């Protein structure tokens, strides 16, 4: 109850975090999201799904946009309204060749290709945009 | 993440503790591929203390499973938290892996 | 040991977080610092001192720079080298009249005036700079 | 932060749980000022479950102490964690407050 009241006082629920593109920092992004989503009283199940999805998307940035170079930067923007949660992941790495980002068929047993499924499980809208300098993956979860 | 290893006759038990993600899964992979190389007949991965697993952790387990199938070894998972269980079922892997309630069940099962 | 090796791989240890100027977000800044400092293997005592100091400095931003308006923004920059930890707190609020930021005499028993003491306990250098748009408090802890 | 209240004859025990900071200390202040208003003779603040306290939390306790001094009430703190103890000693308040090892000591002390 108290949390909810305070929530209304805080007019803008925007937050962001920027960390190096080293996998050791992925746990920081997860805890950032977990704390944030708990503060605004989101259900545990949704919190877990969003944590997994953003973690996968950031792992993909390290793998594909940065080709495992660990001294670059990943930025995660978060915003909340009673209608939706928006997460934007920004990197300054390579533009992808193919924008389809297909995960593998889940019934085809092989390692890999699961990340996109986690992303689609947590989010209702997924939009990828590349500009000259940055790639942005915008993900929206309806509430 | 930390991994504790325990060997019993034909069984190797790998108990993982912490979060399995892109940063930590290589450590799990190292131990699993070692077990495959050693052709250990039964490998149990105890996930009791694992609060989080990502697709790289799952990929690692799938890779080990395929490696063990080649010599007819058996890879068992046990003590999955609710969240980890949900992830396995979402990934349609709850039917692919032998999953046990706890370490005791996995050892005798 | 493992952590230390990874540390060397991650060439730049820079990270930042931006949150609304509502006190409910102070706990996010603390957890951000705690996680970060643990990742780079800083001693618990130093971690606790830095958490307290940054928390106090951010509370002061809410009180003095933003005069308790909760819909503004606080940004915390962090960087680490084996020599030092640097934390910069940035706000877009009022410029202070008096830059001395004196805490009260600790022997004078009254509520308030403790924050600056926590800040000086944790950090060796403290520099405040105001420009047209922003205030920046730069704090350096030697290691 | 949450606060549990327990009344015994002349004593009110306020057990705080969580982190006391600028966001949560107003809640602690509300309960302390109520006790001052009610002129409760002995107030014990149990800090066992308090992992963090900032200057606003300390200011709140100082304010209550000064309020209670006026009617010769007694404010006792107990079960401080190592970190919270260190903060009190750094703020030179370990001599100002009556600090007890645990709730039992505070109740009989
Ligand atoms: N940020 C990205 N940049 C470029 N390609 C990407 C990115 N994210 C995903 N992809 C592509 O989408 C595919 C599916 O991703 P995912 O489901 O996470 O599986 P995996 O990474 O295990 O292959 C990847 O193999 C890759 O080709
Ligand atoms: N960001 C700031 N902007 C303007 N004034 C500040 C700022 N931070 C601290 N001060 C000044 O420094 C004084 C001492 O700060 P502090 O020790 O935190 O005690 P308190 O906030 O309880 O008064 C404050 O009372 C205030 O006048």
What is the pLDDT, as a whole number, of residue C2? 47
Per-residue pLDDT of A2-39, as tens digits, reads 455 455 444 579 999 999 999 999 999 999 999 999 99
Q: Measured between alpha carbons, how far is A20 from C41 in angstroms, rounded to an integer?
A: 16
Please judge whether A106 and B91 are an interchain contact, meaning their C-beta atoms are less than 8 angstroms apart: yes
A60 Cβ inside 6 Å of ligand 1: yes
**Main-chain dihedrals φ then ψ at residue A86, nearest 5 degrees:** -120, 130
Q: Measured between alpha carbons, how far is C104 from C111 in angstroms, rounded to an integer?
A: 9
Q: Measured between alpha carbons, how far is D66 from D56 in angstroms, rounded to an integer?
A: 15
Per-residue pLDDT of D5-38, as tens digits, reads 999 999 999 999 999 999 999 999 999 999 999 9
Q: Which of B27, B50, B56, B97 to mutate to test the interface with A (most CBs of A within 10 A)?
A: B56
Extract the tokens encoding C16.
């930042």
Contacts of B97 (CB under 8 A, 6+ apart): B61, B65, B75, B76, B77, B88
Chain center to CA of D36: 12
Compute the mean pLDDT over every residue in chain B, rounded to the nearest whole number. 97
Cα atoms in the Cβ-side hemisphere of radius 13 Å centred on D54:
29
Interval between CA D45 and ligand 1 midpoint (Å): 54
What are the chain A neighbours of B86 within 8 Å (beta carbons)?
A: 48
Q: Is A68 on the interface with C (CB under 8 A)?
A: no
C62 Cβ inside 6 Å of ligand 2: no
Contacts of A38 (CB under 8 A, 6+ apart): A47
What is the pLDDT, as a whole number, of residue C10? 47
Q: Which atom of ligand 2 lies at the shortest distance from residue D55's CA?
A: 22
Q: Which residue has the higher pLDDT, A123 or C13?
A: A123
Q: Which atom of ligand 2 lies at the shortest distance from residue C115's CA?
A: 18
| Share above pLDDT 90 across residues of chain A, in percent, rounded to a whole number | 78
C128 Cβ inside 6 Å of ligand 2: no
Q: Is C28 on the interface with A (CB under 8 A)?
A: yes
C115 Cβ inside 6 Å of ligand 2: yes
B30 to chain A, closest Cα gap in Å: 15
What is the pLDDT, as a whole number, of residue A85? 97
Query: What confidence tier does A97 reach under pLDDT thresholds 50, 70, 90?
Result: confident
Write the burial class of residue C98 (CB in 10 Å: 0-12 exposed, 13-18 middle, 19+ buried). Answer: exposed
What is the pLDDT, as a whole number, of residue C99? 79
Per-residue pLDDT of B29-54, as tens digits, reads 999 999 999 999 999 999 999 999 99
Extract the tokens encoding C44.
């618990």
C108 to chain A, closest Cα gap in Å: 34
A25 to chain B, closest Cα gap in Å: 8
Contact D62, D53 (CB under 8 A): no
What are the chain C neighbours of D21 within 8 Å (beta carbons)?
A: 23, 26-27, 30, 55, 59
Contact A86, A124 (CB under 8 A): no
Per-residue pLDDT of C60-105, as tens digits, reads 999 999 999 999 999 999 999 999 999 999 999 999 888 788 878 8
| Domain housing C8 | 2-142
Q: Measured between alpha carbons, how far is D90 from B21 in angstroms, rounded to an integer?
A: 40
In CATH, what number is assigned to the domain containing residue B25?
A: 3.30.750.24
> Does the structure show a pLDDT above 60 at D93?
yes
Query: What confidence tier does C11 reach under pLDDT thresholds 50, 70, 90?
Result: low
What is the pLDDT, as a whole number, of residue A9? 46
Per the structure, how many domains does chain B have? Answer: 1
Report DSSP state, residue A24: G
| Domain housing D17 | 2-108
Q: Residue D65 in 3-state DSSP?
A: helix
Q: Which of D26, D33, D56, D70 to mutate to test the interface with C (most CBs of C within 10 A)?
A: D56
Number of cross-chain residue pairs from A and B with Cβ atoms under 8 Å apart: 57
Query: What confidence tier does A104 reach under pLDDT thresholds 50, 70, 90?
Result: confident
CB atoms < 10 A from the CB of B82, how many? 10
User: What's the whole-model pTM score?
Assistant: 0.94
| Share above pLDDT 90 across residues of chain C, in percent, rounded to a whole number | 78
Q: Is A108 on the interface with C (CB under 8 A)?
A: no
Per the structure, how many domains does chain C have? Answer: 1
Compute the mean pLDDT over every residue in chain C, rounded to the nearest whole number. 91
- Distances B72 to B39, B46, C97, D104 between C-alpha atoms, Å: 9, 20, 76, 62
Extract the tokens encoding C88.
């910069």
A112 Cβ inside 6 Å of ligand 1: yes
Q: Measured between alpha carbons, how far is B5 from A42 in angstroms, rounded to an integer?
A: 38
What are the chain C neighbours of A31 within 8 Å (beta carbons)?
A: 31-32, 35
Interface pTM, i.e. ipTM = 0.94
Q: H-helix or E-strand containing C36? A: helix C26-39
What is the pLDDT, as a whole number, of residue A113? 86
Number of cross-chain residue pairs from A and C with Cβ atoms under 8 Å apart: 84
> Does the structure show a pLDDT above 50 at D64?
yes
What is the pLDDT, as a whole number, of residue C96? 87
B98 to chain A, closest Cα gap in Å: 15
- Encode D97-109: b = buried (16+ Cβ within 10 Å), e = exposed: bebbeebeebeee
> Does the structure show a pLDDT above 90 at A96?
no
**Main-chain dihedrals φ then ψ at residue A62, nearest 5 degrees:** -60, -40
């Amino acid at each position: 109850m108290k949390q909810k009241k305070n929530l209304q006082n805080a007019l803008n629920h925007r937050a962001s975090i920027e960390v190096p593109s080293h996998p050791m920092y992925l746990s920081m992004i997860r805890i950032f999201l977990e704390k944030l989503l708990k503060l605004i009283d989101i259900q545990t199940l949704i919190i877990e799904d969003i944590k997994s999805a953003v973690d996968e998307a950031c792992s993909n940035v390290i793998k594909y946009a940065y080709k495992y170079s660990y001294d670059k930067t990943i930025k995660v923007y978060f915003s909340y309204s009673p209608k939706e949660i928006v997460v934007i992941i920004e990197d300054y790495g390579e533009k992808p060749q193919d924008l389809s980002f297909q995960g593998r068929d889940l019934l085809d047993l092989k390692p890999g290709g699961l990340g996109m499924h986690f992303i689609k499980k947590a989010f209702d809208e997924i939009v990828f945009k590349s500009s000259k300098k940055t790639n942005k993956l915008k993900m929206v979860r309806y509430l | 993440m930390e991994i504790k290893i325990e060997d019993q006759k034909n069984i190797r038990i790998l108990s993982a503790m912490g979060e399995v993600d892109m940063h930590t899964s290589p450590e799990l992979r190292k131990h699993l591929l070692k077990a495959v190389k050693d052709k250990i007949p039964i490998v149990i991965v105890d996930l009791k203390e694992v609060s989080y697993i990502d697709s790289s952790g799952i990929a690692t387990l799938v890779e080990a499973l395929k490696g063990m199938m080649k010599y007819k070894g058996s890879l068992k998972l046990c003590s999955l938290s609710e969240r980890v269980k949900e992830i396995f079922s979402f990934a349609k892997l709850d039917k692919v892996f032998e999953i046990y309630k706890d370490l005791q069940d996995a050892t005798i099962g």
